[in-house]
Amino acid sequence: MPAPNFPSKRAPVYQNVPDEQWNDWRWQMRNRLNTVEEFEKVITLTDSERKALSSPDLFRVEITPYFVSLIDPDDPNDPIRKQIVPTAGEIDAFTGMMEDSLAEDRHSPVPGLVHRYPDRVLMLVTTQCASYCRYCTRSRIVGDPSATFSRADYDAQIEYIARTPQVRDVLLSGGDPLSLAPKVLDELLARIYAIPHVEVIRIGSRIPVFMPMRVTDELCETLQKYHPLYLNIHVNHPNEITRELAEATDKLTRAGIQLGNQSVLLAGINDCVHIQRKLVQDLVRIRVRPYYLYQCDLVEGAGHLRTPIAKGIEIIEGLRGHTSGFAVPTYVVDAPGGGGKVPLMPNYLISYSDHKVVVRNYEGYITTYEEPTEYKLHDPKTCKYCQSKRIEPGQAGVHGLLDGDAMFIKPDGYDVLHNRGGGMHRLRADGEKWKPLGIGEKKDK
């Protein structure tokens, strides 16, 4: 099978830059564009873009020379351009927008660490990126040098993970973890890897897309020391898949790194089933499995990039059955207020009863599936896996089951967070029963 043949571009203004410099990720970082004058050397700015770039109130603007070279300089609707060059639309207020739309600060037991799900945590290790997306969920802190994380913050994050045994999965994000100094990244990974109950480390990064030259042999050697390690990149449009990105993902996969892709559904950029089909098919060609397609968050200044939920469902319907099943991402809404990711999909289940299920396929073909007439229910009382996860009153820092529902107890021993009825509820132990815990009430010691 021939190797994928993807384009490689370099804007005219960079044609005389020696390859040694162009392919140096540190040179790319030092020469990022952030002013009207710098952008006008590469693309023809619109009045809206010029106004936005001149505004001191928008969050940070940066773009690597490599990534700006992928833009059609004369097309104001270029899909890459609309992701990273601000417009006056960001200045306008939008109803329902939120500074911290995912309530991450509310789920942060120590600075920079988010513990929303029972068995996994999010570590925010930097506020810096190679380039800045106009729809960034963390625009409240990303790009702000005063909001960065210190060594003391890292110590507190890792200490929390070490004393919280239900945490088996740690995700590094930010900002972009691959923007950290190599020694700092190596040290963080080593400290997390040394915690016995951590089973998986994940990194979320757009740097391989913004700046694929960051994926050096040295980086791959560092990452492969900490298997199992998963890296989710962030590609939104087929135009972002270049020869350089394909070479970077080839290096990573050869180092044993499992690659996935998280994209965001964006109006006027990728809100088209044909674009999405091309995107996911090109991703699997470079050995990156589509993972999530996110509904754009309620981010201040990003209202002009949001689509209706119905558009995302339409796109998933246009992918399912029309391309490989493993190339179809899960379409999710990250529920505002800290509710976590909610998967959404077309309705293929038409009806069901105690003996028959009526379903349709991607072509609209309707058929029935006969349910079994005899089924011996799973007995959690005799299941060693269920019993090993059962929680007794007074146990702290244990993930388990309560009446069949997932739950976990915060390590301080005071609160129980119980996932019932679509939300996390506070409970306390009272003898052999769990009862709702009132606001401000502490669990009896």
Q: Which two tokens stand for residue 51?
A: 């106004």
Which tops the pLDDT comparison, 89 or 19? 19
Q: Which two tokens stand for residue 63?
A: 């773009």
- Crossing angle of the two packed helices 273-285 and 309-319, in degrees rounded to 10: 50
Average pLDDT, integer, range 282-290: 98
Flag whether pLDDT at 15 surpasses 60. yes
- Answer whether 259's CB lies under 8 Å from 295's CB: no
pLDDT at 2: 64
Across 78-87, 107-116, 144-153, 376-385, least confident range:
144-153
- Annotated catalytic residue within 78, 82, 132, 136: 136
| Cα–Cα nearest to 346, from 381, 310, 317 | 317
- Annotated catalytic residue within 129, 132, 176, 294: 129
Give catalytic status of residue 360 as yes or no. Answer: no
Handedness of CA 270, 273, 277, 278 (dihedral sign): negative
Average pLDDT, integer, range 118-142: 84
Please identify which residue in the block is written with the tokens 């043949």: 5
252 residue type, one letter: L
- Answer whether 256's CB lies under 8 Å from 283's CB: no
**CATH class of the domain at 105-344:** alpha beta
Average pLDDT, integer, range 280-306: 92
- Annotated catalytic residue within 117, 135, 294, 331: 117
pLDDT tens, residue by residue, 215-234: 999 999 999 999 999 999 99
Give catalytic status of residue 341 as yes or no. Answer: yes
Question: Domain boundaries in the chain?
Answer: 12-90, 105-344, 347-375, 384-436
Handedness of CA 325, 329, 333, 339 (dihedral sign): positive
Average confidence score pLDDT of the chain: 84
pLDDT at 389: 61
Alpha-carbon gap, residue 299 to 423, rounded angstroms: 22
Alpha-carbon gap, residue 41 to 111, rounded angstroms: 40
pLDDT at 60: 84
Q: Which two tokens stand for residue 133?
A: 């997306």
Alpha-carbon gap, residue 148 to 156, rounded angstroms: 14
Query: Highest mean pLDDT: which of 189-203, 354-368, 392-406?
Result: 189-203
pLDDT tens, residue by residue, 139-167: 666 756 666 788 999 999 999 999 999 99
- Answer whether 7's CB lies under 8 Å from 243's CB: yes
Which tops the pLDDT comparison, 135 or 199? 199
Alpha-carbon gap, residue 210 to 29, rounded angstroms: 10
- The dihedral over CA atoms of 154, 160, 162, 168, expressed in degrees to the nearest 10, equals -100
pLDDT at 355: 87
pLDDT tens, residue by residue, 324-341: 999 999 999 987 766 778
Alpha-carbon gap, residue 274 to 162, rounded angstroms: 46
- Annotated catalytic residue within 82, 138, 206, 277: 138
141 residue type, one letter: I
- Annotated catalytic residue within 334, 415, 428, 443: 334
pLDDT at 138: 62
Alpha-carbon gap, residue 179 to 277, rounded angstroms: 30
Give catalytic status of residue 297 as yes or no. Answer: yes
pLDDT at 433: 39
CA distances from 196 to 128, 165, 169 (A): 30, 9, 11
| Cα–Cα nearest to 241, from 257, 258, 221, 263 | 263
- Annotated catalytic residue within 120, 277, 306, 428: 120
pLDDT at 90: 82
DSSP for 22-56 reads HT-HHHHHHT-B-SHHHHHTTS---HHHHHHHT-T
Give catalytic status of residue 334 as yes or no. Answer: yes
- Annotated catalytic residue within 297, 306, 428, 443: 297
Q: Which two tokens stand for residue 275?
A: 């674009």
- Give kind and range of the element (H or E) at residue 333: strand 330-335
**Order of strands across the sheet that contains 356-360:** 349-352, 356-360, 366-370
pLDDT at 160: 95
Give catalytic status of residue 116 as yes or no. Answer: yes
- Annotated catalytic residue within 132, 133, 135, 428: 133
Q: What is the pTM of this model?
A: 0.84
Average pLDDT, integer, range 118-132: 91
Average pLDDT, integer, range 2-7: 80
pLDDT at 429: 41
Q: Using a pLDDT cut of 70, give the percent of the chain over it.
A: 80
Average pLDDT, integer, range 64-68: 98
Q: Which two tokens stand for residue 252?
A: 């990573």
- Annotated catalytic residue within 168, 341, 410, 426: 341
- Give kind and range of the element (H or E) at residue 273: helix 273-285
Flag whether pLDDT at 275 surpasses 90. yes
Flag whether pLDDT at 278 surpasses 90. yes
pLDDT tens, residue by residue, 95-107: 444 444 454 556 6
Alpha-carbon gap, residue 262 to 312, rounded angstroms: 14
pLDDT band for position 373 (50/70/90)? Answer: confident
Flag whether pLDDT at 403 surpasses 50. no
- Annotated catalytic residue within 32, 81, 82, 116: 116
Is residue 429 classed as helix, strand or coil in its secondary structure?
Answer: strand
pLDDT tens, residue by residue, 409-427: 444 433 444 433 333 444 4
Which tops the pLDDT comparison, 56 or 7? 7
- Answer whether 34's CB lies under 8 Å from 72's CB: no
Give catalytic status of residue 129 as yes or no. Answer: yes
Alpha-carbon gap, residue 148 to 177, rounded angstroms: 12
